[in-house]
Amino acid sequence: MPERETIRRARKDAREGKAPSTQAGEFVREEIEHVREGKHGAKSAKQAIAIGLSKARRAGVRLPPPKKGTASKRTRKQAARDEAKARGGAKKTPSRRRSTAVKRVLQREGQAAASPRALAKQARSSAKRRTASQRSAAAKKAARTRARRTRAR
Band of pLDDT at residue 29, cut at 50, 70 and 90: very high
- Residue 2's pLDDT is 86
Instruction: Find the mean pLDDT for residues 31-35.
Output: 95
CA atoms lying within 13 Å on the CB side of residue 144: 9
pTM metric for this prediction: 0.81
Q: How far apart are the first and last CA of the chain?
A: 38
What residue spans of the chain are helical by DSSP H?
4-15, 20-37, 45-58, 73-86, 96-108, 116-128, 132-145, 148-152
- Residue 153's pLDDT is 64
Question: Within 10 A of 11 (CB to CB), how many other CB atoms are there?
Answer: 15
Containing structural domain, residue 145: 4-152
Instruction: State the total domains in the chain.
Output: 1
Does the structure show a pLDDT above 90 at 85? no
Mean pLDDT over each residue of the chain, to the nearest integer: 90
- Residue 36's pLDDT is 95
